[in-house]
A and B are shown apart, each in its own frame.
Chain A
Amino acid sequence: MSELVRLTEVTKVYQGGITGALNGVSVAVEKGEFAAIMGPSGSGKSTMLNLVAGLDRPSSGTVTVGGTDLGKLGEAGLARFRRDHIGFVFQFFYLLPNLTALENILIPAQLKGNVVPGRARELLEQLAIKEVADRYPALLSGGQQQRVAIARALINNPTLLLADEPTGALDTHTGDQVMELLGELHRHGQTILLVTHDAKLATRHAARVISVMDGKIVDDARLESPDRTASEVIRVRGEEVSR
């Protein structure tokens, strides 16, 4: 398997931040992996994801995705990089309120100058949201909104799918459905980096759990068979993780 993401000695100090949000993080993610980043609130999970997406720049260290050192790209270069390689799913969906579901999904392709109605229809079908294609986000349920957001993230066939607490704003049942969907995508070969502070969710689908605390990686567990070792992980890291 080839390496897709590599963080080397990455630190991030926000303006006005007293301590770093990330303090010397080094980690690599292989192509085809489904890795979960876990940790308590404020531990630096989102910060890490944002750096991988090229939405922000590290204070020191390097972030490499697919062999490209993101530090070497300018603003326009980063935008192109995101468009071509990254799909991003947020906790609060962030659909554009004045565009219909379908229009939202098509945006990343159109920014690239592509017209891909076939691909969009395929995704609508696959994510079971065909019937809401022409509705505006305000008229969709949370679960439907998140599916639309996932379809939008996938429209350009991204190398890497980043999801930051994708179930955080959903009820348990809907959240489970979304996680099932991610698992399904992973089985079809999609590389996924998932941020969550829910250990159960992390271990049910991800084959690897990276645990973060105070901006440092405190554990990196590869689970040969996720289902079997799930309870173990929860037991071992229970204290920190469930905080």
Chain B
Amino acid sequence: MNGPQFAMTAFVVTWLTASLRLAGPVLLAALGETFAEQSGVLNIGIEGTILLGALTSFLVSFYTGMIWPSLLAALLVGIAANMILAWMYVTVRASQVVAGLVFNVLALGVASAVYRKALGNSAVPESIAMFQPLHIPFLGNLPVIGPVLFGQTILFYLTIALAFVAHFVLFRTNFGLALRASGENPAAADSAGISVYRMRYAGTLISGAAAGMAGGYLVLAQVGLFRESIVSGQGFIALGIVIFGRWNPLKATVAAMVFGACDALQLSLQIFGTHVPPQLLLALPYIVTILAISGLFGGKAVQPAALMAPYIKD
């Protein structure tokens, strides 16, 4: 193999590996968000929830050194925090956008305060205990696809599995049908004997669990530390993925890979050095998100018809 070709292969491998790695947490959050939106709730609060999940998993891992319990703790905190959000969205019928945004600001405040309080004077380690990339024998040694597909952490494979589970639950179970009906036509769902409130609580809490876990994913498989800026808009990127994925978990998986690729591209390009200004590269994933959310690519036509419409009886 000659020089330039080798560099090219190295670039592609680094880039693709990073793509999948970066796609993991946002995909997880997007899968949960799909349930919330299919039930009729636009849960913008996942951004803050990811942050709370990240903090929780960091602290638990810091104090116990155990990674699975840290992940579970993040998931539980996600559910608990979204209990409040669900109450705002469904019971109080507050504006979903406003409630979600305020929650995100609040979560940031709480997370920094708790972090400082908890770690006040203790020395912060280089890194806490983390999930390591797997080394799958044989498959992992294949050229290019070996490291890309078979050298990820267990969380990545878990997330992909969850995408299939999510798809199955949404489209092949009574619960999924009831959930989607609540987001399409809540009055019709109600009339069919479905509790729309319960469905929307369920959707919101599922998105909370997934977002909490996504926060854990970030800390436990990617960063190894907690920073206030650790999430930096990944919740919003997840919202974009849901739209690009047309409210379908499997399509969202593909969308997440594309986002991951954009994100990784800017990283790899920075490492390998280009003439493109780094600020522009950094902005790339967000630009794609804004385009997705803008509805320029359709989307409006397929979004749950009663998305963001509170359901009022009587």
Partners in one complex: no
